[in-house]
Amino acid sequence: MRKLTTLLSCVVVMLALAPRFSLQAQPAKELGYDLPKRKALVAERIDAELKGLDSLYKYLHSNPELSYEEEQTAARLARELKMLGFEVSEKIGGHGIVGVLKNGDGPTVMIRTDMDALPVTEKTGLPYASKIRTRDKDGNDVGVMHACGHDMHMTCWVGTARVLVALKKHWQGTLVFIGQPAEEVGAGARRMLEDGLFKRFPRPDYCLGLHCDSRLPHGQVGYTEGLSLVNVDSVDILVKGKGGHGSAPHTTIDPIVIAARIVLDLQTLVSRENNPLDPAVVTVGSIHGGTKHNIIPSEVKMQLTVRSTRDDVRARLLEGIQRITKAAALGAKAPDPVVYFHTDNFTPALYNNVDLAKKTSNVFRATLGDDKVIQQEPLMGGEDFSRYIRAGVPGFFFFLGTLSSDHVAAMKTGKAPPISLHSDFYHPIPEPSMRTGVTAMSMAALNLLKGR
Ligand code: ZN
């Protein structure tokens, strides 16, 4: 079975990263509209929607679907948008959906949710825990779980759609709500774009997205200005040798020894060849070769995750992997190894538009309070929301606190074991998390649409 951790492109949260700055809230009048009034309208709508959203969240949590298989999830989201009056197109780049709502002249704002779950067997013990099992693409029986919080993303997305539709007379513009498949495998955004997302539908002036965060308590949101997440590449290496008896190494070419050399030599790509001021990671996450003590196998398979913040650094790392692997084989008189770059699953680095990040985080501060809005360090994780930004649309991707504050405090002092996204124990506290998520996303959208 493939080692999943090397392939997952989704955000991997590191617990040690602490908040840095706390900017002062801008006075409401400087934000260009009557913020207290909008805040009150949004809060009132969320109060009315929360019970229904909680049921939706629990339904989605109990019924997860793996990447490329989000059929029922997409159908449910499509129904939600249709009921609100969106014009909905389905099967965009796989199971992707696009809902468009035109409401007079004004900017076009795209709001994205992802929809896929992970091959993880849930251990939360929640009454609404997933009991779903399925076969993965290699035929293995696996549990399925929304261990990355995409169920919460979808709930906030539907909640935001409901709020904005209910407040339709207060804004003008066009909403484009997209449900993206296959985020966990880094393919969904690319596929939706290749299927004409920005050509067949109104091209957005802005795009917004959020992701659950297992570092922040519910009630808080986190963000960066500029770099947020990094380039993520998955690489397979097949080291070829010549098998034989373990007692007669001189009659073989031992691929295990060559692979061991490759693992060590790869470390120099970061420690010797890379400018220390440019963050980079080369991790060999999986290595498999051989069956028995006394057999020298004929091949070894390795799987790598490669991370960088700059495209030139990425290119050099990938070239270096090719070069080092080939040189190790040459040194052992082995056949050329096969190096396979999973370019289809490449997740480009995510850079938030700085102006948009400043503008939106100021609205967050004025809405949620200064102490609830945390400017964070970038993470070495990846998210394919970056592709919409790379396609030329100014974008902002922020993080939503989801755990109880007691839990976060206990994790910081080592009194509770760290729980990260993708853990079989990870689960957001539903109601307060979605309240903040819907509030933040609705206020962000209203701030970009034309007021009336
Ligand atoms: Zn995720």
pLDDT tens, position by position, 353-367: 999 999 999 999 999
- Percent of the chain having pLDDT more than 70? 93
Please state the rounded mean pLDDT for residues 15-23.
39
Q: Which two tokens stand for residue 226?
A: 């500029």
Contact criterion met (CB below 8 Å) for 282 and 304 = yes
Q: In degrees rounded to 5, what are phi and psi of residue 428?
A: -70, 155
Torsion of CA 34, 35, 40, 43, to 10 degrees: 140
Q: In whole angstroms, what is the distance from residue 435 CA to residue 159 CA?
A: 9
Q: Are 172 and 105 in contact (CB under 8 A)?
A: yes
Ligand 1 centre from 53 Cα, in Å? 20
- Ligand 1 center to 239 CA (angstroms): 32
Task: Report the separation in Å between the CA atom of 183 and the middle of ligand 1, taken as the mean of its atom positions.
Answer: 7
Q: How far is the CA of 213 from the centre of ligand 1 (A)?
A: 9
Q: What's the gap in Å between 226 CA and the centre of ligand 1?
A: 20
10 Å Cβ neighbour count for 294?
8
Query: Alpha-carbon distance 394 to 355, whole Å?
Result: 9
Phi, psi of 6 (to 5 degrees): -80, -15
**What tens digit of pLDDT does each residue of 148-202 get?**
999 999 999 999 999 999 999 999 999 999 999 999 999 999 999 999 999 999 9
Closest CA to 5 of 422, 446, 434: 422
Quote the CA–CA distance of 335 and 251 in Å, as a whole number.
15
Q: Which amino acid is at 52?
A: G
How many angstroms is it from 117 CA to the middle of ligand 1? 8
- CA–centroid distance, 151 to ligand 1, in Å, is 10
Asked if the model's pLDDT at residue 14 lies above 80, the reply is no
Whole-number Å distance, alpha carbon 149 to ligand 1 midpoint, is 6
Question: How many A from CA of 207 to the centre of ligand 1?
Answer: 17
28-230+349-451: which CATH number, 3.40.630.10, 3.40.640.10, 1.10.3720.10, 3.90.1150.10? 3.40.630.10
Measure 262 CA to ligand 1 centroid, in angstroms: 31
User: Do residues 396 and 206 lie in contact, with contact meaning Cβ atoms separated by under 8 Å?
Assistant: yes
What's the gap in Å between 184 CA and the centre of ligand 1?
6
Nearest Cα neighbor of 259 from 321, 325, 193, 204 is 325
Q: How far is the CA of 372 from the centre of ligand 1 (A)?
A: 22
CA of 119 to the centre of ligand 1 (A): 13
Gap from CA of 212 to ligand 1 centroid (Å): 7
Task: Give the pLDDT confidence of 191-232 residue by residue, as tens digits.
Answer: 999 999 999 999 999 999 999 999 999 999 999 999 999 999
Report how far ligand 1's centroid is from the alpha carbon of 189 (Å): 13
Measured between its terminal Cα atoms, the distance across the chain in Å is 56
The whole-angstrom separation of Cα 64 and Cα 147 is 10
pLDDT per residue as tens digits for the range 375-415: 999 999 999 999 999 999 999 999 999 999 999 999 989 99
Q: Strand 206-217 to strand 395-403: parallel, antiparallel, or no bridges (unpaired)?
A: parallel
- pLDDT of res. 441: 98
CA distances from 21 to 224, 268, 371, 372, 437 (A): 10, 35, 10, 12, 21
Distance 10 CA to ligand 1 centre (A): 5
Span from the CA of 410 to the centroid of ligand 1 (angstroms): 24
Please report the pLDDT score of residue 416 as a whole number.
Answer: 87
Find out whether 151 and 433 touch, Cβ atoms under 8 Å: no
Query: What is the distance in A from the centroid of ligand 1 to the CA of 150?
Result: 6
β-pairing, 96-103 vs 171-180, is: antiparallel
Closest of 269, 273, 278, 274 to residue 304, by C-alpha:
269
Using the Cα atoms of residue 187, residue 193, residue 196 and residue 200 in order, give the sign of their dihedral. Answer: positive
Check whether domain 231-345 has CATH 1.20.1250.20, yes or no: no
CA of 373 to the centre of ligand 1 (A): 21
Give the start-to-end residue ranges of the domains of the chain: 28-230+349-451, 231-345
CA of residue 164 to ligand 1 center, whole Å: 24
Distance from the alpha carbon of residue 175 to the mean position of ligand 1, in angstroms: 23
Per-residue pLDDT band for 103 (boundaries 50, 70, 90) equals very high
> 430 CA to middle of ligand 1, Å?
16
- The answer, as to whether pTM is greater than 0.85, is yes
Count of CB atoms within 10 A of residue 366's CB? Answer: 22
Q: What is the pLDDT of residue 12?
A: 43
Task: Quote the ligand 1 centre to 214 CA distance (angstroms).
Answer: 11
Query: Ligand 1 centre and the CA of 256: distance in Å?
Result: 35
Q: Are 353 and 440 in contact (CB under 8 A)?
A: no
Is 267 in contact with 386 (CB distance < 8 Å)? no
Q: How far is the CA of 68 from the centre of ligand 1 (A)?
A: 15
Task: Output the CA 14–ligand 1 centroid distance in Å.
Answer: 14
Ligand 1 centroid vs 11 CA: distance in angstroms?
6
SS3 for 51? helix
Q: What angle do CA 411, 416, 420 make, to 5 degrees?
A: 60
Band of the pLDDT at 33, cuts 50, 70, 90?
low
Q: At what angle do helices 150-166 and 430-448 cross, to 10 degrees?
A: 50
